[in-house]
């Protein structure tokens, strides 16, 4: 937003005059009837912002506050909430370090803290691995697909197809493929190997990696399509200039194309971070995070414990922790990484 405004001021004054008008209407009497203009402004704001704001307050802000409230109670979801017992931050303590009561600390550590830590670890592992594996892979595919070759359009469509599929359909499909008697098992047998002993998804070691493979398959399409869009915005002249300077294909990519789609990559990383923290539907369809939680995420654990175990207060505490985590990551990333894109442009405009 700031970039738009600053760039507007720098080059096109006419546009700059209308842009601040929205905020400074009082200082600039554009109408003969300032009061009517003000009413009109309020009317417009209410008309355009009202519905969105109402939806946001009802379906985002109110649930977040409710969850924070529920998380301070011991509530089974059956009795009226007014009958629930207030226990302060005990639910959080139970999730993070087994609770404050020494009598139940050991039991709670095994029953609650460890599964939560496992879910937390899986979520963070997916977050980190997504960036470590999906970023280079997606970039490589995008660079290859950016070249002209016969059948490029079809390959692009195929790459993007998994992303378009609904999570439930894709999940069910992979369940069938990774069935004990499914295609994947047959394939392994055909080349003389044994599939994971406990089953593709249920094996304690392999379960997580199978799920990570499925997630990569599912979401790599988004990375590729974003990077391709970014690459299409890189001016052809730069590539021509690099070619004249005798740069190889790799050098052109490494020194020209990739630096120029930096902002796109950083936005993808942002989407990937948030998506990883909130990962739910795919993992849920693949048997709810695993029968022993071997590939559970924070979101599936929250669903298991809050909804299916009727431990609503504890589930809400998990939800709040998840909210805090994604909020902190998003804020940090916005402030530290994405700010760079904004200031970059301002500098460029000033120089121009």
Partner 1 sequence: MTHFRRAGAMVALGTSAALLLAACSSDPEPETSGSSDTTSSAASGDDPVTLTWWHNGVAGDTGENTLGDYWDKVAADYTAEHPNVTIEIEQIQNEDLQRTRIPTALQSGDAPDIFQQWGGGELAAQAEAGYLMDLSEPLAADVERLGGAIAPWQADGVTYGVPFQFAVEGIWYRPSLFEAAGIADEPTTMDELNDAVQKLKDADIIPIAVGAADKWPAAHWWYNFALRSCSQDTMNADTAALDFSDPCWLDAGAQLEEFLGTEPFQDQFMSTVAQTGATSSAGLVANANAAMELMGQWNYFVYEGFTDGSEEGIQALHDDLDWFPMPATASGEGAPTASMGGGDGFSCYKDAPTECADFLSYLVSDDVQRGYVEAVGGMPVAPSATDAITDPVLQEIAAASSEAEYVQLWLDTLLGPNVGGALNDGITAQFAATGDAQNTVDLMTAAAATQ
CA-wise closest residue to 70 among 99, 55, 90, 100 = 90
Minimum CB separation from partner 1 for residue 67, in Å? Answer: 16
Euclidean distance between CA atoms 312 and 71, whole angstroms: 8
What do you get for the CA distance between the two ends of the chain, in Å? Answer: 19
Residue in 314, 315, 319, 322 binding partner 1, rule: CB under 8 A: 314
Euclidean distance between CA atoms 110 and 123, whole angstroms: 19
Count of CA atoms in the C-beta half-sphere (13 A) of 178: 23
Minimum CB separation from partner 1 for residue 310, in Å? Answer: 4
Binders in 179-218 for partner 1, by CB under 8 A: 179-182, 198-202, 204
Contact 251, 242 (CB under 8 A): yes
Binders in 132-161 for partner 1, by CB under 8 A: none
Euclidean distance between CA atoms 330 and 323, whole angstroms: 10
Residue in 11, 248, 291, 343 binding partner 1, rule: CB under 8 A: 291
Total site size for partner 1, rule CB under 8 A: 42
Binders in 78-97 for partner 1, by CB under 8 A: 78-81, 83, 94
Pick the piece of the chain touching partner 1 (CB under 8 A) from 76-84, 145-153, 272-280, 320-328.
76-84
Dihedral pair phi/psi, residue 73, rounded to 5°: -120, 160
Residue in 217, 308, 327, 332 binding partner 1, rule: CB under 8 A: 308
Judged by CB under 8 A, does residue 16 bind partner 1? no
Pick the piece of the chain touching partner 1 (CB under 8 A) from 127-135, 157-165, 286-294, 342-350.
286-294
Question: What contacts 292, CB < 8 A, 6 or more positions away?
Answer: 202, 204
157: tokens are: 């469509």
Based on CB atoms, which residue is closest to partner 1, 288 or 342? 288
Based on CB atoms, which residue is closest to partner 1, 93 or 265? 93
Judged by CB under 8 A, does residue 59 bind partner 1? no
Minimum CB separation from partner 1 for residue 309, in Å? Answer: 4
Judged by CB under 8 A, does residue 280 bind partner 1? no
Strands (E), the chain: 73-74, 85-86
């Amino acid at each position: 937003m700031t970039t738009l405004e600053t760039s507007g001021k720098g080059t096109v004054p006419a546009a700059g005059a209308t842009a601040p008008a929205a905020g400074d209407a009082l200082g600039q009497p554009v109408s003969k009837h300032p009061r009517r203009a003000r009413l009109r402004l309020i009317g417009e704001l209410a008309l355009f912002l009202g519905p969105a704001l109402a939806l946001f307050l009802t379906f985002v802000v109110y649930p977040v506050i409710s969850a924070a409230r529920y998380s301070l109670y011991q509530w089974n979801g059956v009795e009226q909430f007014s009958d629930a017992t207030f226990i302060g931050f005990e639910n959080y303590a139970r999730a993070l370090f087994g609770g404050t009561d020494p009598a139940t600390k050991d039991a709670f550590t095994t029953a609650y803290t460890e599964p939560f830590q496992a879910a937390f670890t899986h979520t963070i592992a997916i977050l980190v691995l997504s960036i470590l594996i999906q970023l280079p892979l997606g970039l490589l595919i995008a660079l290859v697909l950016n070249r002209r070759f016969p059948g490029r359009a079809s390959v692009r469509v195929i790459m993007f197809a998994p992303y378009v599929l609904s999570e439930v359909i894709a999940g069910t499909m992979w369940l069938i493929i990774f069935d004990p008697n499914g295609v994947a098992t047959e394939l392994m047998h055909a080349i003389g190997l044994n599939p994971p002993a406990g089953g593709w998804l249920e094996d304690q070691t392999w379960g997580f990696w199978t799920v990570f493979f499925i997630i990569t398959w599912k979401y790599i399409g988004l990375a590729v399509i974003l990077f391709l869009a970014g690459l299409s915005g890189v001016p052809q002249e730069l590539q021509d200039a690099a070619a004249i300077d005798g740069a190889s294909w790799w050098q052109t990519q490494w020194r020209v194309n990739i630096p120029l789609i930096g902002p796109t990559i950083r936005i993808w990383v942002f989407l990937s971070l948030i998506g990883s923290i909130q990962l739910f539907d795919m993992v849920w369809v693949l048997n709810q995070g695993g029968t022993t939680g071997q590939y559970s995420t924070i979101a599936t654990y929250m669903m298991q414990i809050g909804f299916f175990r009727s431990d609503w207060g504890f589930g809400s505490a998990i939800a709040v922790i998840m909210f805090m985590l994604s909020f902190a990551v998003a804020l940090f990333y916005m402030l530290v990484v994405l700010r760079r894109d904004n200031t970059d442009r301002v500098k460029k405009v000033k120089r121009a």
